[in-house]
Structure 1
Amino acid sequence: MKTAITILLSFISLNFTFAQQTLKDQEEIHQILNAFMQSIAKKDSITFNSLFFKETVNWISVIKEKSQAKRLEAKPTITKNYFTGTYSSFIQSILQSKKSEEKFEKIIIQNDDVIASVTFDYSFWSEDSMTNWGEEYWQLIKINGKWKITSVLFSIEISKYYPKS
């Protein structure tokens, strides 16, 4: 009986420790999301760049079908409904633009102790007007105790065609 109680208490203790670590990791990931948004608003490329894995990072966007159809109406020669880029080229475009802001809603984080995925709805704003919106998916890894973004994948609905309701 004593052994069974000891095993049960050990199991509860391990679950509690894991839950505490998961909550700590999720808070750290929330801090990355906030730093991402703030660095865009403040045009802070140093902070922005520090959020990313220094090796290859996927940066891919796909324009939603309704918005792509409107783009094709305006310019039938458009052949791609997607673009690829880099986080560094993205922040460089922000530095050259006027006022920019990205907002996140409905954030969902799933993680273990070294990998994580984050999904959320986003809206991108330029000069206080929403230019596009959609869903965004990030993958992160934890290296030497620090979370880094390794992949950014997002859909784009163009606000001038389809305003977010």
Structure 2
Amino acid sequence: MRTLLAIILAACLAAPAHAAAADTDTDAIRQVVHQFQSAIVARDGKTLGSLFVQDGGSWLSVLDDAAYADAKARNPAAKKLMPSTWQKFADFVQHSAKPIEERFYDVRIDTNGAVASVWFDFDFLVDGKVTNRGSETWQLVRADDGWKIQAMLYSVDR
């Protein structure tokens, strides 16, 4: 009986510590989200690039059915799945001639302290006009120097 009570007491005491660590991780991940958005507005490709795992990773956009039909009508060779890299995006941000911004809505974060997932809806604006929107998900890892984006997948919705 004492052993059972000790286990229950230990679990009760550990739960608040785990919750505090999860809150700290979630706050740090929210900071990455904020830095990402700020770097786009500032057209700061270097800061944007620093948010990603430098080697490896994945970047993929997916056209929804309506956007894909429009793309195919303009170019029969258009693809539904469009792989890219964070490096190309950082370069686009750095050299954009017009103001750009990505707005995030309903940001959801899930983490166990080592890996994390961020999911949100977005609007991407160029010169104040929405050029695309959709849903986006990031996979993050906790590296030696903080949370880094390892993979990005987003839809392009019409």
Same fold (TM over 0.5): yes
Partners of 2:136 and 2:154 within 8 A in 1? yes
Indicate yes or no: 2:15 matched with 1:15.
Answer: yes
Q: Which residue of 1 aligns with 2:30?
A: 30
Aligned-residue RMSD, C-alpha: 1.5
Structure 2, unpaired ranges of 5+: none
Structure 1, unpaired ranges of 5+: none
Cα distance in 2 between the residues matched to 1:105 and 1:44: 22
Instruction: Provide the TM-score with structure 1 as the length reference.
Output: 0.89
Instruction: Provide the TM-score with structure 2 as the length reference.
Output: 0.92
Same amino acid, percent of matched pairs: 29
Cα distance in 1 between the residues matched to 2:94 and 2:145: 30
CA-to-aligned-CA distance 1:15-49 (integer Å, 9 cap, x gap): 11010000100000000000000000001122111
Count of paired positions? 157
Cα distance in 2 between the residues matched to 1:80 and 1:6: 59
Q: Which residue of 2 aligns with 1:82?
A: 81
Cα distance in 1 between the residues matched to 2:72 and 2:120: 28
Cα distance in 2 between the residues matched to 1:122 and 1:129: 13
Whichever residue aligns with residue 68 of structure 1, its letter is: Y
What stretches of structure 1 move > 6 A for 4+ residues in a row?
none
Indicate yes or no: 2:56 matched with 1:56.
Answer: yes
Indicate yes or no: 2:103 matched with 1:107.
Answer: no
Three-state SS of the structure 2 residue aligned to 1:15 is helix
C-alpha displacement of 1:6? 3.8
Matches within 5 A, 1:146-157: 146-157=146-157
